[in-house]
Amino acid sequence: MEITFLGTGTSHGVPTIDCMINGYSTCPQGVCKLSVTDPRHQRTRSSIMVEWNQYTVLIDVSADFRQQALRENITKIDSVLITHGHADHVTGLPDIRSYTKDKPLTLYGSEETIAMIRKSYSYVFDSNTYIGGGIPHIETIAAEDSFELFGKTVVPVKVGHGTLRGCYGYRIGPLAYIPDMRTIDDENLRKIEGAEVLILNCLRRQREHSTHLILPQSMEFARRISPRQCYFIHMCHDIHYELDSKEFDSFMEFSYDGLKVVI
């Protein structure tokens, strides 16, 4: 299994528009200005691509999907998993039309997520829509329980993220992917125990957040799962790769756009 980190940032991305407007003078650790010279600090919105058995599965279609697809030379997508319906995770959806010319693409998510997508992109699912420049041909499946996908079992992991009732992470064999989480119950925690690789949200260094884990909480959670390797994702401009990794355990790393990991 190969994992490509398409994007590793929050909904703002890095550098942020706010910092640019202020001449980068208000950036907490100077990360936005540093991103101009250090590509690791350039963070598009979070998404990963997972490949196994010659199949390519996208998890989330971020607002920066077009840029990510061109950068990584993505020539095909066989299926899509959506973690939840927030804009930074689904607004690249119209751009997957280039991958649906030969056959529809199946998209999986919670019932809530599928309903949000079908509402936000109603024209995609309306048989009366004038195609014009093209629309993505998508088949949606609400999957609340485990399902088989290209020879592997995909396990939805329900997590607490704001007021959403159907926000997921996913367990696929040795991989556990959770980009947006604040809480998780014991039943769903058990679903990710034993994962070799954990990809986990890590919003910022400090200051509690109502819908996301912050760095100390992410580290504590990673220790609880104790994977062979943990990569932190969904990071805002508070996170500095070198300064903030000094307290890491040996199995912890910050991810970055374009990082490839083989399990």
Residue 74 one-letter amino acid: I
Nearest to 88 by CA among 211, 227, 230, 188: 211
Confidence of residue 128 (pLDDT cuts 50, 70, 90): confident
pLDDT beyond 80 at 131: no
Residue 127 is predicted with a pLDDT of: 82
Q: What is the pLDDT of residues 32-61, one digit of tens each?
A: 999 989 999 999 999 999 999 999 999 999
Residues 6+ apart with CB under 8 A from 218: 200, 201, 202, 232
Are the CB atoms for 145 and 157 separated by under 8 Å? Answer: no
Q: Which domains does the chain have, with CATH numbers?
A: 2-262 (3.60.15.10)
Structure tokens that stand for 238 in this block: 């508070």
- Counting Cβ atoms within 10 Å, is residue 177 exposed (0-12), middle (13-18) or buried (19+)? buried
φ/ψ (deg, to 5) at 20: -60, -45
Task: Kindly give, in sequence order, each residue whose CB lies less than 8 Å from that of residue 78, ignoring residues fewer than 6 positions away.
Answer: 55, 56, 57, 105, 150
Instruction: Give the pLDDT score at 57.
Output: 98
At 133-167, the pLDDT tens digits run: 689 999 999 999 999 999 999 999 999 999 999 99
| Coil, helix or strand at residue 216 | helix
Point out which residues pair with 171 in neighbouring strands. Answer: 155, 176
Q: Is 214 helix (H, G, I), strand (E, B) or coil?
A: coil
pLDDT value of residue 49? 98
In the predicted model, what is the mean pLDDT of the chain?
96
